[in-house]
Amino acid sequence: MRDHEFRVLGPIELWSADQQHDLGSARSRVLLAVLLLAPRTVVPAETLIDRLWDTRPPEKVQNSLFAYVSRLRGSLRQALGDSVQLHGHMGGYVLDADPETIDVHRFRRLRRQAEALTASADYEHAAELLREAAALWRGPALSGVNGDWVGRMRDSLGEEQRAALLARIECDLHLGCHADLVGELYGLLTRYPLDELLIGYLMTALYRSGRPGDALRLYRETRDRLVEHQGTEPGPALARLQQRILAGDPELAIAPTVTRATQVPPADTLPPPPVEFVGRAAELAALTADQGDTAEVRIIEGMPGVGKTALALQAARILAPRYPDGLLYLNFHRYDPTSPSLGGDEALRQLLRMLTGPAVRIPETPDERTALWRAQLARRRAVVVLDDAAGLDQITPLLPSEGRSLVLITSRHLIRGLPSARKLTLDVLAAEDAITLFRRIAGQAAPGDETELAAAVELCGRLPLASQVTAGRRAQDHAPPPGELVAEMSRAPSLTGQTSESTEWMSAFEFFFF
Q: How far apart are the first and last CA of the chain?
A: 53
451 and 484 together in one domain? yes
Domain boundary among 173, 189, 208: 173
506 within a domain of the structure (yes/no): yes
490 and 455 share one domain? yes
In this prediction, residue 11 carries a pLDDT of: 97
For residue 490, pLDDT over 60 is answered with no
Q: What value does the mean pLDDT take over residues 213-217?
A: 96
Give yes or no: residues 280 and 396 share one domain: yes
Encode burial over 360-382: b for 16+ CB neighbours within 10 A, e otherwise.
bebbeeeebbbbbbbbbbbbbbb
Give the residue from 108, 143, 173 where a domain finishes.
173
CA-CA distance, 433 to 448, in Å (whole number)?
Answer: 17
- Flag whether pLDDT at 436 surpasses 90: no
Give the count of domains, the chain.
4
Percent of the chain scoring above 70 in pLDDT: 87
If residue 401 lies in a helix (H) or strand (E), which one and from where to where?
none
24 CB-near residues (< 8 Å, 6+ apart): 71, 72, 75
Whether 159 maps to a domain, the answer reads yes
Classify residue 343 by its DSSP letter. P
Task: Report the pLDDT averaged over residues 463-482.
Answer: 68
Q: Which of 30-44, 253-267, 382-396, 443-457 has the lowest mean pLDDT?
A: 253-267
Lowest mean pLDDT among 43-47, 276-280, 468-472: 468-472
The identity of residue 347, as a single letter, is A
Residue 261 in domain: no
Let me know if residue 482 belongs to a domain. yes
User: Cβ(138)–Cβ(7) under 8 Å?
Assistant: yes
Domain boundary among 173, 199, 214: 173
| Whether residue 275 is found in the same domain as residue 156 | no
Please report whether residue 360 resides in a domain.
yes
The CATH number for 403's domain is 3.40.50.300
Supply the CATH number for residue 220's domain.
Answer: 1.25.40.10
Instruction: Return the ∠ at Cα 305 (arms to 300 and 307), rounded to 5°.
Output: 45
Amino acid at 31: L
Q: Is 176 exposed, middle or buried (0-12, 13-18, 19+ CB in 10 A)?
A: middle
Q: What domain range includes position 299?
A: 267-425
Q: Are 208 and 170 in contact (CB under 8 A)?
A: no
Give yes or no: residues 141 and 192 share one domain.
no
The verdict on 323 and 458 lying in the same domain is: no
CA 460 – CA 489 distance, rounded (Å): 8
Model pTM? 0.73
Q: Do residues 6 and 107 both lie within one domain? A: yes
For the stretch 220-244, pLDDT in tens is: 999 999 999 889 999 999 999 999 9
Whether residue 127 contacts residue 174, with contact meaning beta carbons closer than 8 Å, is answered with: no
**Residue 347 placed within a domain:** yes
Residue 504, pLDDT score: 39
- pLDDT tens digits, one per residue of 71-127: 999 999 999 998 899 999 888 999 999 999 999 999 999 999 999 888 888 899 899
Q: Which is higher by pLDDT, 46 or 474?
A: 46
Q: Which secondary-structure segment (H or E) carries 298?
A: strand 296-301
Helix (H) and strand (E) counts in the chain: 20, 12
In a domain, 260, yes or no: no
Closest by alpha carbon to 189, among 175, 203, 176? 203
Mean pLDDT, the chain, whole residue set: 85
- pLDDT band at 305, cuts 50/70/90? confident
Do 101 and 151 fall within a single domain? yes
CATH of the domain at 163: 1.10.10.10
Do 281 and 250 lie in one domain? The reply is: no
Same domain, 232 and 158: no
Residues 282 and 239 in one domain: no
Question: Is pLDDT of 477 > 80?
Answer: no
Same domain, 240 and 289: no
Question: Beta-strand (E) ranges in 159-198?
Answer: none
Task: Find the mean pLDDT for residues 455-483.
Answer: 71
Residue 501 is predicted with a pLDDT of 35
Whose CA is closest to 263, among 317, 316, 321, 325?
A: 325
What DSSP state is assigned to residue 272? Answer: P
CA 391 – CA 399 distance, rounded (Å): 13
User: How far is 202 from 219, CA to CA, in rounded Å?
Assistant: 10
The C-alpha angle with vertex 504 and arms to 501 and 508, in degrees rounded to 5, equals 135
